[in-house]
A and B are shown apart, each in its own frame.
Chain A
Amino acid sequence: MTTKTHRSPASEFRLLTMPLVVFLLVFLGFPAIVNLVYSVSSVSFETLRSPEITGFSNFVAVWNDGAFWQASWFSFRFGLLTALLECGLGLFLAIFLAPLIERRSWLMAILMLPLMVAPALVGLMYRLVLHEFAGPVPYYLWTWFGASLSFLGPGSAFWTLVTVETLQWTPFAFLLFYMAYQAIPREIIEASAMDGARYRHRLWYIELPLMAPTIVVALLIRFIDGFRVFDNVYVLTGSGPGGSTASLSIYIYEAFFKQGAIGKAVAASVVLFIASFVVLYGLNTIAARRKGAAR
Chain B
Amino acid sequence: MINILRWIVFAIAAIAMNFPIIVTLVTSFKSPRELTSNPGLWVQAPTLDNYATVFTVSDRLNIFLYLVNSLAVAALGTLLAVALALPAAYAIARGKVGERTLLPLIVNLRAVPLVIFAIPLYMMFQWLSLLDTRLGLGLILTIVNLPLALVILVNAIRDLPGELDEAALMDGATRTQILLRVIAPLCRPAIVTGVIFGFITAWNEFLFGLMLTTSNAVPITVGASFFFAASGGGVQWGVASAVMIVGALPPMLLGLLMYRQISGSMTAGAVKG
Contacts and interface: CB of A to CB of B under 8 A. Distances in A.
Interface of A: 1-2, 4-5, 8, 10, 12-14, 16-17, 19-21, 23-24, 27-28, 30-32, 34-35, 48-49, 89, 93, 96-97, 99-102, 105-122, 124-129, 131, 133-136, 138-140, 167-168, 170-172, 175-176, 178-179, 182-185, 187-188, 213-214, 217, 220-221, 224-225, 227-228, 230-231, 248-249, 252-253, 256, 262, 265-266, 269, 272-273, 276-277, 280-281, 284-285, 288
B129 interface: no
B31 to A, nearest CB: 14
Given A4-B169, A48-B123, A214-B155, A185 B273 contact: yes
Given A113-B17, A262-B119, 12 more contacts: A13-B95, A16-B176, A19-B84, A19-B87, A27-B121, A97-B13, A99-B3, A117-B24, A118-B206, A121-B240, A126-B20, A128-B237
B260 A105 contact: yes
Given A31-B120, A118-B206, A171-B17, A179 B98 contact: no
A167 B13 CA distance: 9
Query: Closest 7 CB pairs between A and B?
Result: A13-B95, A183-B269, A31-B120, A118-B204, A280-B104, A16-B87, A34-B120
Interface residues of B, number: 111
B102 A97 contact: no
B235 A5 contact: no
A84 B113 CA distance: 22
Choose among A116, A131, A134, A182 the residue with the greatest number of B CB atoms under 10 Å from its CB.
Answer: A116
Interface in B81-133: 83-85, 87-88, 90-92, 94-113, 115-121, 123-124
Contact of B169 (A8, A13, A14, A124): A8
B213 interface: no
Interface of B: 3, 6-7, 9-10, 13-14, 16-21, 23-24, 26-27, 35-36, 39-41, 83-85, 87-88, 90-92, 94-113, 115-121, 123-124, 139-140, 142-143, 146, 148, 150-152, 155, 158-159, 165-166, 169-170, 174-176, 179, 189, 193, 197, 200, 203-204, 206-207, 221, 224, 235, 237, 240-241, 244, 247-248, 251-252, 255-256, 259-260, 262-263, 265-266, 268-270, 272-273
